[in-house]
Amino acid sequence: MELANQLIFVGAALVLISIGASLVSSRFGMPLLLVFLLLGLAAGPEGLGGIVFADIDSAALIGSLALAVILFDGGLKTKGENFRVALWPATSLATIGVLITAGLTGLIGWALFDQLGLMAGLLLGAILSPTDAAAVFFLLGSRGLVLKERVGATLEIESGSNDPMAVFLTIGLVELLVAGAAGGDGLGVVELAGIFVLQMGLGAGFGLVAGHVLGLAINRLRLASGLYPLLALAGALFTFGLTAVLGGSGFLAVYLMGLMLGNRKLQGFHNIMRFHDGLTWLAQIVMFLMLGLMVLPSGLIAIAPLALPLAFVLMLVVRPIAVWVSLLPFNFSKAEQAFISWVGLRGAVPMVLALFPTAAGLDVGPLYFGIAFWVVVVSLTIQGWTITPLARWLKLEIPSKSGPIDRIEISLPELPDHEIVGYAIEDDSPLVDRHPRLPPWAQPLLLVREKTLTTPAPGFRLAVGDTLYLLAPPWKLPDLDAVFGGRAEEDAAFFGAFTLNGEARLSGLGDAYGVPVPAEALRETLADFIDRQFNRAPVVGDVVFLGNVALIVRERDETGRVTKVGLDLDGLKRRAPRVPFLPDWPTLVRAARHLGPGPARAVRRLRDRSRGTTATPVAARPADSTRRGLAERLRRMLRRR
């Protein structure tokens, strides 16, 4: 009993210290996950705490549970619209990108470390290949950083979906090495391929079905309000365990399950989100503290001269190559590719995967854990500290919209699926000294002004410091956020001083503002013109230049069509800086021309197939481009037939 009391005391003390450290780290901008890891290191056997924790099996269990909770919460917070704009790029990164990262890192590790053979080096690459969902979700969310939709969605979906591929590669290579050490042949390529299909198929199937079933259960069962979050958690862990027992990927299952629940109307949804937000914090603290406790600094110093170069090569060479190959078909700009490369954060996942070789009895297991520790420290320190300034320098940040400062769920038979939400009026709000134009489904209930509660009178005006509480359906809050959100100065600085309708014609733009409009585009609407500049759907924040004038996508409808466009007559400052990144399609085509007509045709054909179009930007087309464009469309129609 005395031991149990001591464990409770020490565990609670470490969590309290971690929470207190978060206040200090926020002042200095230090990545908080790195703080948790270093606190565990300080409390470990060679630190001030002297706590000995070396149970590999328990560590693997705790790490798996924590990752399941983090991935489930990440799915809950991932918007379904993100999949429309980023599903295929993120899937490419989570599969092809992981394979390239594992292969290149494995070869470099094999060359650096004498203790590793080729297969053991590839296992090291598999361990270090995944980006970390906890690190990405936390760092993107905690800094108040709002990225262009496609960039942010790609990073979030990739980090939540690349763990299954890394786990599969790690377990498969561990089994091959164990079988080789025992004198066996191990699994063949066909068997490994079958296991991969089984894991991904069961993971996706169980995740989607369980998410749908649990959503129905939450909406139909009448429970105490505090039981809905527990029902969601128990359902997620049950799905994780069942999927893993049957041979599927439990990590993929819980992520998709969270995605299903987070994108449907649920009773008690706000309570579920609050509960899982706190639980995810606890999971991150426990996981990083535990991993820090298992680190022996004396063993780290010996491998640092080789582990640190590997960390920098992974960050500066391997990850950019993997991103470039994975995103080449999707027409990301060099600035976007460079940023996605830089946010390839390594966190707890590589360190948890590094426990698998030791648990399987491989002699080089401790070496993997030490290398993973150095890679994680370098990634969280350098990349984690520079995400926000890099996004601003590359002009990938967009203004955030103010959301409600408080949400109160109500449970009344007369008003099902409604919430009371509160909005604060700041000094730069466009609603200062104005009456808000509220939609008919939003009913103002209470106005708090200078600590005094009043009932909003007809035609009331808002003042700085007010808090307005309204009754509204939770699924319509994005529309209400648009009424109260946004800051006039920030919006004008980013989107320009003028806002135009997406259906306005470019001819009127040229007449009113003297904008140089190409002759062949005069009859087009702004929405159609902007849409033709990209071999993908434009997203909020995308910029199209007409001479020195910038057209900025401000709003889109649910189909992805541009509805509002910002206009900046002095748009040169909006051009993203030139990034020395790997070549894009035009550069590859020009390089292939020097090799002869055959390679040039092959590269162009590959480019056209990946894009699904041969269209070039309007501003770069010659005068007869319209005729050539119609001819090309006709040829594509004939090919389809």
- If asked whether residues 415 and 465 sit together in one domain, one would say yes
Residues 6+ apart with CB under 8 A from 158: 90, 93, 94, 97, 131
Q: What is the CATH number of the domain that holds 176?
A: 1.20.1530.20
Confidence grade of residue 637 (pLDDT, cut at 50, 70, 90): very low
Could you write out the DSSP letters of every residue in 312-338? HHIIIIIHHHHHHHHHGGGT--HHHHH
User: Among 35-39, 254-258, 582-586, 600-604, which is the least confidently predicted range?
Assistant: 600-604
Instruction: Examine the domain organization and report whether 422 and 480 are in the same domain.
Output: yes
CA distance 36 to 17: 9
Q: Is residue 539 part of a domain?
A: yes
Same domain, 248 and 365: yes
Helix/strand/coil percentages in the chain, nearest 5: 65, 10, 30
Same domain, 379 and 410: no
Look at residue 323 and tell me whether its pLDDT is greater than 90.
yes
Which of 103-107, 194-198, 458-462, 599-603 is predicted least confidently?
599-603
What is the pLDDT, as a whole number, of residue 593? 66
The pLDDT tens digits of the residues spanning 256-308 come to 999 899 888 888 787 888 888 889 888 888 888 888 888 888 888 889 999 99
DSSP string, 255-290: HHHHHHHHTS--TTHHHHHHHHHHHHHHHHHHHHHH
Q: Total structural domains in the chain?
A: 4
For 20, other C-beta atoms within 10 Å of its C-beta total 10
User: Scanning the structure block, which residue is given the tokens 């000294």?
Assistant: 433
Residues 517 and 531 in one domain: yes
Average pLDDT over residues 572-587: 73
Query: What predicted TM-score, i.e. pTM, was given to this entire model?
Result: 0.79
Q: Quick check: is 161 in a domain?
A: yes
Name residue, tokens 């030139």. 578
What is the pLDDT confidence band of residue 368, given thresholds at 50, 70 and 90? very high
CA dihedral of residues 327, 331, 333, 336 (deg, nearest 10):
-40
Confidence class for position 597, pLDDT limits 50, 70, 90: low
120 and 200 both lie in a single domain: yes
**Percent of the chain at pLDDT exceeding 70:** 82
- What pLDDT sits at residue 506? 83
Report yes or no: 93 and 101 within 8 Å, Cβ to Cβ.
no
- Token pair, residue 462, equals 């808002």
In this prediction, residue 641 carries a pLDDT of: 42
Residue where a domain stops, chosen among 429, 453, 484: 484
Give CA 88 to chain center in angstroms.
14
In a domain, 399, yes or no: no
In this structure, what are the phi and psi dihedrals at residue 45, rounded to the nearest 5 degrees?
Answer: -65, -25
Q: Checking DSSP bridges between strand 443-449 and strand 452-454, what pairing results, if any?
A: antiparallel
Domain boundary among 371, 393, 415: 393
Q: Among 320-334, 544-558, 598-612, 614-628, name the most confident range.
A: 320-334
Q: Is residue 349 part of a domain?
A: yes
Residue 171 lies in domain: 2-393
Q: Is the pLDDT of residue 638 over 60?
A: no
Residue 338 is predicted with a pLDDT of 92
* Residue in 457, 453, 446, 452 with CA at minimum distance from that of residue 420: 446
pLDDT in tens, 472-520: 887 777 777 777 765 556 666 778 878 888 888 888 877 777 778 888 7
The rounded percent of the chain whose pLDDT value lies above 90 is: 17
- Report CA-CA distances (Å) from 367 to 11, 71, 127, 372: 28, 27, 12, 9
Q: Which amino acid is at 121?
A: G
- Worst-scoring range by mean pLDDT, 342-351, 410-419, 478-487? 410-419
CB 343 within 8 A of CB 379: no
- The pLDDT, as a whole number, for residue 592 is 64
Identify the pLDDT of residue 109: 93
492 and 474 within one domain:
no
CA dist., res. 166 & res. 353, Å (int): 9
Q: What is the pLDDT of residues 108-156, one digit of tens each?
A: 999 999 888 899 999 999 999 998 776 776 666 655 677 888 898 898 8
Question: What element of type H or E holds 242?
Answer: helix 227-245
461 and 592 in a single domain? The answer is no
3-state secondary structure of 111: helix
Token pair, residue 65, equals 């549970």
Least confident piece of the model among 6-20, 111-125, 240-254, 414-428: 414-428
Q: Could you give the CA distance from residue 422 to residue 445 in angstroms, rounded to a whole number?
A: 10
User: Would residue 127 count as lying in a domain?
Assistant: yes
- Is 609 found in the same domain as 546? no
Residues 120 and 132 grouped into a single domain: yes
* pLDDT at residue 629, as a whole number: 46
Least confident range from 70-79, 95-104, 211-220: namely 70-79
Q: 223 pLDDT exceeds 60?
A: yes
Last residue in a domain, options 545, 574, 603: 574
* DSSP 8-state class, residue 449: E
Contacts of 344 (CB under 8 A, 6+ apart): 131, 315, 319, 323, 379, 383
Contact 445, 470 (CB under 8 A): yes
CATH number at residue 466: 3.30.70.1450
Residue 398 in any domain: the answer is no
Which has the closest alpha carbon to 421: 403, 404, 401, 402? 404
Same domain, 381 and 432: no
Distance of CA 6 to the CA centre of its chain: 39
Q: Is residue 601 located within the same domain as residue 568?
A: no
| Angle at CA of residue 404, ends 403 and 407, nearest 5° | 140
Residue 402 has pLDDT above 70, yes or no: no
Is 38 in contact with 294 (CB distance < 8 Å)? no
Query: Residue 449, CB half-sphere, CA atoms under 13 Å: how many?
Result: 11
Alpha carbon separation from 417 to 231, 470, 472, 490 (Å, rounded): 19, 14, 9, 34
Give the lowest-confidence range in 237-251, 298-312, 594-608: 594-608
Q: What is the CATH number of the domain that holds 506?
A: 3.30.465.10
Give the pLDDT confidence score for residue 566 in this predicted structure: 87
Burial (0-12, 13-18, 19+ Cβ within 10 Å), 237: middle
In this prediction, residue 50 carries a pLDDT of 82
Nearest to 507 by CA among 517, 492, 499: 517
Is 242 part of a structural domain of the chain?
yes
Average pLDDT over the chain, rounded to an integer? 81
Round to whole Å and give the CA distance between 11 and 264: 37
Residue 13's closest CA among 46, 40, 47, 38?
40
Quick one: 193 exposed, middle or buried, by C-beta within 10 A (0-12, 13-18, 19+)?
A: exposed
What is the predicted pLDDT for the residue at 236?
A: 94
Evaluate if residue 582 carries a pLDDT over 80: no
Question: What residues contact 480, with CB distance under 8 A and at least 6 apart?
Answer: 404, 421, 423, 438, 439, 442, 470, 472
Query: Would the pLDDT of 628 be above 60?
Result: no
Q: Is 546 in contact with 516 (CB distance < 8 Å)? A: yes
* pLDDT over 50 (residue 625): no
